[in-house]
Amino acid sequence: MVATFSSLKNAFSSHKLNVEAPRASWSAQPEEKVQAEADTWDTYLGALYRATVEALTASCSVQRDYEKVQAEADRWERQLQLALEDDNEDLVREALGQRNACRDRVCYLKALLERYNIQVTTLKKQMAYWENQ
C-alpha cells in the first residue's frame, strides 16, 4: 500500500473543519473562545495532515530503496550461481558477501516499510475520526 503524494493531497485536500456539530454548545461561549477552539482544531488537523504526508513520503522513498536493494540482491544471487558453476572461489566469496549484505539491507527496509505503513494507516484513521467530530 504505497500512495503517492498527489493522491494523498487529493484525498485530504477537501479537509474542512466541521463547525456545524458543536454549534449548539457555542451559543453559551464567548466568540473569542469559540474562535480559539476552532483555531486549535485546525492546527491539530493540519499537524495530522502534515504528519500523514511526511509518513507517506518516507514510505514511498523506503519502498523505492527496498525495490532497488532487492534487485541488487537478486543480481548478486545470479552472480553467485555463475561463480559456483565456474568454480571461481574468489567470485563466490565476493558474491556471497554482497548477496548477504543486500539481504540484510532488504530485511531492514522491509521492516521499516511495514512500520511506515502502520503509521500511515493510524494517521489516516485519526484524520478521519477528528474530521468527523
Q: Yes or no: say if 8 and 116 are a contact pair by the CB < 8 Å rule.
A: no
C-alpha to C-alpha distances, 21 to 16, 40, 113, 114, 124, nearest whole angstrom: 13, 16, 37, 36, 21
Does 51 map to a domain?
A: yes
Count of structural domains within the chain: 1
- Which pLDDT score is estimated for 29? 62
Is 4 within the bounds of a domain?
A: no
What's the confidence (pLDDT) of residue 91?
95
Domain that holds residue 49: 33-131
Within a domain: residue 67?
yes
Q: Which three cell numbers stand for residue 103?
A: 539481504
Residue 10 in domain: no
User: What secondary structure letter does DSSP report for 29?
Assistant: S
CB–CB of 127/11 below 8 Å?
no
Grid coordinates 548478486 are at which residue? 76
- pLDDT value at residue 35: 73
Residue-wise pLDDT tens for the chain (133 aa)?
444 445 545 545 444 444 444 555 555 567 777 777 777 788 888 899 999 999 999 999 999 999 999 999 999 999 999 999 999 999 999 999 999 999 999 999 999 999 999 999 999 999 888 888 7
Lookup result for grid cell 473562545: 33
Q: Are 77 and 100 in contact (CB under 8 A)?
A: no
Q: What is the pLDDT of residue 107?
A: 97
Instruction: Please list, in sequence order, all residues whose beta carbon lies within 8 angstroms of the beta carbon of residue 66, skipping any fewer than 6 positions away.
Output: 106, 109, 110, 113
